[in-house]
């Protein structure tokens, strides 16, 4: 995994609560056996109409968000199915950071494992940024300092468990880390056998 240190990018507002992973990536795209290439199917039925044309009324289809890399989302983002295809699609589409008042459990974990920085931020602040993003908002996210700097220079700090932060900063691979515990795992197995 690529280390994540800092990211500056355009923020796109998706102002809906309880966005589930069925919306993020619909089931017909879950049949692939690769990890890549899911970006074009992101929010498929929100982005495209039944004839495959872009829907003008969907926020990510607006030209100003074309190069957005930060997603401002509503509460309980990523609920429902455990499909990791959801963060794969978001990442493949170009999102590096997702900011929401809260995330569903499994989605939060899945995102971190794919190097997406998921930030829990109070609802008021998220709403404020969503408003600003309608006019155009660039955020500078510094993981090391745990700070987000707004276009106008305002700095807001955020929380992230130290353990996740360290892993993201270093781009560590979970399995490699766990294999360092081999002795403990083996001892555990022997004790129970």
Partner 1 sequence: MGKALTAFEKIWNKHVIKEEEGKPALLYIDQHLVHEVTSPQAFEGLRLNGRKVRRPDLTFATMDHNVPTINRENMKDEISIKQMEALKKNCADFGVKLADMYHPDQGIVHIIGPQLGLTQPGKTIVCGDSHTSTHGAFGAFAFGIGTSEVEHVLATQTIWQDKPKTLNVQVVGELGVGVTAKDLILAIIAKFGVRFGTGYVMEYTGEAIRNLTMEERMTICNMSIEAGARAGLISPDETTVEFLRGREMVPEGEAFEALAEDWLALATDEGAEYDHTVTIYADEIEPQVTWGTNPGMGVPVSASTPTIADAEYPDEVKRALEYMDLEENQPITSIHVDHVFIGSCTNSRLSDLKKASKIVEGKKVKEGIKAIVVPGSFLVKQQAEEIGLDKIFIEAGFEWRNSGCSMCLGMNDDIVPSGGRCASTSNRNFEGRQGNGARTHLVSPEMAAAAAIEGHFVDVRQFVGVPS
Binding region for partner 1 (CB under 8 A): 16-18, 20, 22-23, 26-28, 30-35, 45, 50, 75-76, 79-84, 87, 102, 104-106, 109-110, 113-114, 161-163, 174-175, 178-179, 181, 184-185, 188-189, 192
**Which pair of tokens denotes residue 33?**
């056996």
Residue 50 near residue 78 (C-beta atoms within 8 A): no
Using the minimum distance from each CB to partner 1, give the nearer residue, 20 or 142.
Answer: 20
Using the minimum distance from each CB to partner 1, give the nearer residue, 48 or 125.
Answer: 48
Q: Which residues have a Cβ under 8 Å from the Cβ of 83 and sit 6 or more positions away?
A: 21, 25, 30
Closest approach of partner 1 to the CB of residue 165, in Å: 12
> Cα separation of 172 and 47, whole Å?
34
Using the minimum distance from each CB to partner 1, give the nearer residue, 52 or 63.
Answer: 52
Closest approach of partner 1 to the CB of residue 16, in Å: 8
Q: Can you tell me which residue has the tokens 């997603």?
A: 71
CA angle 118, 12, 45 (to 5 degrees): 95
Using the minimum distance from each CB to partner 1, give the nearer residue, 135 or 163.
Answer: 163
């Amino acid at each position: 995994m690529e280390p994540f240190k800092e990211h500056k990018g355009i923020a796109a507002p998706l102002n809906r609560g309880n966005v589930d992973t069925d919306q993020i990536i619909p089931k017909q795209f879950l049949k692939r056996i690769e990890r890549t290439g899911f970006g074009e199917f992101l929010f498929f039925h929100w982005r495209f109409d039944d004839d495959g044309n872009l829907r003008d009324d969907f926020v990510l289809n607006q030209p100003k968000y074309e190069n957005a890399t930060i997603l401002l989302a509503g509460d309980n983002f990523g609920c429902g199915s455990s499909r990791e295809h959801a963060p794969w699609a978001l990442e493949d589409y170009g999102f590096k950071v997702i900011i929401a008042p809260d995330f569903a459990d499994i989605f939060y974990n899945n995102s971190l494992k794919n190097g997406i920085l998921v930030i829990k931020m109070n609802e008021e602040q998220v709403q404020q940024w969503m408003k600003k993003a309608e006019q155009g908002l660039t955020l500078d996210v510094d993981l090391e300092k745990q700070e987000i700097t707004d276009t106008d220079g305002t700095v807001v700090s955020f929380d992230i468990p130290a353990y996740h932060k360290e892993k993201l900063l270093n781009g560590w691979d979970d399995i490699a880390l766990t294999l360092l515990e081999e002795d403990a795992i083996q001892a555990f197995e022997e004790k129970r056998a």
